[in-house]
Amino acid sequence: MATEGLTSTSYVRHHLQNLVYGELPEGYERADGSVLEQSTWTIAHSTQEAVDMGFWALNVDSMGWSIFLGLIFCYFFRKVAKNIDSGVPGKLQNVIEVLVEFVNTNVKETFHGKSNPVIASVALTLFCWIFLMNLMDLVPVDVLPFLAQKISGDPHFYFKVVPTTDPNITFGFSLTVFAMIIFYSVKVKGIGGFIGELTLQPFGKWMIPFNLLLEGVALLAKPVSLALRLFGNLYAGELIFMLIAMLGYYQLPLHFIWAVFHILIIVLQAFIFMMLTIVYLSMAHESH
């Protein structure tokens, strides 16, 4: 149910704002009218304050939920690994074995470079972690923010619960993959081979500037497309949940219908991110 006293526009803006921790300068006039006597690290009380905190501000909710869900992933996989039973496995072990086999099969079919045990581990981590973060989109949009407001005592407390609707998180994943692409490209092909791949393809040594432009754009497009595809799909899904929530008590049928459809998006986006990572790392391992 929409927060009482908010218009439709302010309701959506409130739910799309992260809980931001950052530094405000000396003499800054805050949303409540108070003026800071010295520069202070604090929680933003308005969207403008979050903007004015600048680049080094931290989205506490996105970071907190992503770490929490990552720990859940590690806990259950570690629990199964320590208590694995080859005789009569439990339900949790069956689920995790299916996940591991699913990822391993996709890696074997897609990765064509020299055998590298890191690839399957990275793919499994990405798929499960991103899936768990996407899954938070199925929690009714008002439930956890309402609890956070009650616990904090602040009726305007910002609290987003879907980390993948924050571009900082999705770019964090994609830039990590990009760093791995560069690392393995240099490791497998050498510095000369990697530079040659960027400057001598596809038109040979007489078109080096044009080759570098084409290959450079293609290389930089990989992390950008990875991050924005995941962010855009989950952000749009969350926004639709918010619009449905504004219907009040009449939201339940539509919420259920959209949630059922959104399950496909949640799984598909985690799968696409994993598969593209495998493909990009496979390309990084191929020498010409």
- Find the catalytic residue in 152, 233, 282, 287: 233
Instruction: Tell me if residue 23 falls in helix, strand or coil.
Output: strand
Residue with tokens 């449905």: 244
- Residues composing the chain: 288
Q: Is 62 a catalytic residue?
A: no
| Integer Cα distance of 173 and 164 in angstroms | 10
Give me the catalytic one of 39, 83, 121, 225.
225
Own/partner contacts of 6-14, CB < 8 Å, gap of 24 or more, are 8/246, 11/242, 11/246, 12/239, 12/242, 12/243, 13/47, 14/156, 14/158
Q: Is 229 in the active site?
A: yes
Q: Out of 30, 168, 229, 282, pick the active-site residue.
A: 229
Question: Distances in Å between the alpha carbon of 239 and those of 140, 179, 201, 255, 262?
Answer: 12, 31, 42, 12, 12
Residues assigned a catalytic role: 225, 229, 233
